[in-house]
Amino acid sequence: MFDLHSHILPGVDDGAADVGVALGMARRFAEDGVQVVACTPHILPGLYGNSGPDIREAVARLQTHIREAGIDLKLVSGADNHIAPDFVQGLRSGRLLSLNDSRYVLMEPPHHVAPQGLEALFFSVIMAGYVPVLTHPERLSWIENKYELIRTLAGRGVWMQITAGSLLGSVGRRPRYWAERMVSEGLVHILATDAHDEVRRPPALREGRLAAERLVGAIEAEHLVVTRPAAILADTPPNLQPSPGSLVQSKGLDAGDENLETSRNARGGGAWRLRSYFR
């Protein structure tokens, strides 16, 4: 399996406090069957002043520690990039990071307030040649009032990443409800742990995979943690990857024909996405 959202880098944000904790997390990942972990610390000016070059150096240092500890785990670089008006410029300058230098980039909006212009920001990222991946939308406090916006974004080329702990209920009943709903409706592209430590927010991708399997079956659950994450790391275009919507349809889940169609079309090329924004 491949985990594309973690805070395993020590001492850089609210994740692993030190190398000891990071190594403990690495062991948990390996024991869980995870082969590759994306190190995705927060980039949030004023709170977490990380930058692309700093993260790359930290990844290299931790990889050395992991190798010396005899842990079979590969790290790649990335970031939990908080949204900002100059987001595209930040990506082009290298201040912000995509996942393993691919076209796929994690984007985190404010947790408690739905920002104005969110659709326009995602549109600018797509038109710059990237595939935005919205991190843990099920945990946003404003999802109840803006769920149609989430569905619209998914239909217009924005990928969705759900947290494994949400499906397991470890972060509350409300995130679990929205996570299960989004997975069942075929809106979710990848499942990740967003692990921060060994106890409070530990790596639990295998358990999350099993929870997803109970909702959408073994094939789609594998796509969530193996097929699509591996393709992201290889920078495979989205239209060449399996659509979650098609498997929801094959299982007969009532997600609505329009939702299924937009979920399939979200895999299309930039030309389709451009047309979708101007309907």
State the pTM of this model: 0.88
Residue 246, pLDDT score: 58
Exposed/middle/buried for 65, CB within 10 Å: 0-12, 13-18, 19+?
A: middle
Name which of 56, 78, 65, 82 is nearest 25 in CA terms. Answer: 65
Beta partners for residue 74, in sequence order: 36
Domains of the chain with bracketed CATH = 2-277 (3.20.20.140)
d(CA 233, CA 227): 10
Name which of 97, 88, 89 is nearest 9 in CA terms. Answer: 97
d(CA 62, CA 55): 10
Residue 99, pLDDT score: 98
Exposed/middle/buried for 142, CB within 10 Å: 0-12, 13-18, 19+?
A: middle
Identify residue 10 by its one-letter amino acid code. P
Residue 106, pLDDT score: 98
Residue 119, pLDDT score: 96
Name which of 164, 229, 159 is nearest 193 in CA terms. Answer: 164
Exposed/middle/buried for 46, CB within 10 Å: 0-12, 13-18, 19+?
A: exposed
Residue 89, pLDDT score: 98
d(CA 73, CA 264): 33
Whether the Cβ atoms of residue 97 and residue 78 lie closer than 8 Å to each other = yes
| DSSP for residue 99 | G
| DSSP for residue 103 | S
The tens place of each residue's pLDDT in the chain, 279 residues long, gives 999 999 999 999 999 999 999 999 999 999 999 999 999 999 998 899 899 999 999 999 999 999 999 999 999 999 999 999 999 999 999 999 999 999 999 999 999 999 999 999 999 999 999 999 999 999 999 999 999 999 999 999 999 999 999 999 999 999 999 999 999 999 999 999 999 999 999 999 999 999 999 999 999 999 999 999 999 999 999 999 999 975 554 444 443 333 333 333 333 344 334 433 333
**Torsion angles phi and psi, residue 2, rounded to 5:** -135, 125
Name which of 131, 127, 151 is nearest 271 in CA terms. Answer: 127
Radius of gyration in angstroms for the set of CA atoms belonging to the chain, rounded to a whole number: 17
Whether the Cβ atoms of residue 32 and residue 73 lie closer than 8 Å to each other = no
d(CA 57, CA 232): 22
